[in-house]
Amino acid sequence: MIVLDTNVVSALMKPSDHPDIAGWLNQWPERLVRTTSITIMELNYGIHRLPFGRKRRELTESLQTLRRQYLQEVLAFDQDAAEFTATLLANAHSVGRNLDFPDTQIAGIVLANNATLATRNIRDFEGLGLKLVNPWD
């Protein structure tokens, strides 16, 4: 299973700006493609911060289309993910590393589901025990 990070889903919302990412996604069977509830929250937060108008409407429609087409199953931040996240945060704290909380929640969800994370921000997730892939490479 491949889990799309927020930056990948965001790129797919503007396919004309990132045609290579859409092509990369097409190599994965739809039944193996997921995202997380954290990514859905981050994207909706960004959309809701925009003033009402064309751009906000287009991004809302684009996200809805992606959800119907590729992201029908959204992985939740459940008890297993919470336990993985807590461990990641505690381990990072013990070595003086500060982790972004939403990214750590995404990492916890990915670990709980034994999945691979597709992200452009490989550096943010390195050392957390995740299988990572950068669709831009």
Q: What is the pLDDT of residue 70?
A: 77
Query: What are the pLDDT digits (tens) for 57-100?
Result: 999 999 999 888 878 889 999 999 999 999 999 999 999 999 99
Structural domains of the chain ordered from first start: 2-133 (3.40.50.1010)
Query: What are the pLDDT digits (tens) for 96-118?
Result: 999 999 999 999 999 999 999 99
pTM of the complete model: 0.93
* Residue 107 φ/ψ, nearest 5 degrees: -60, -40
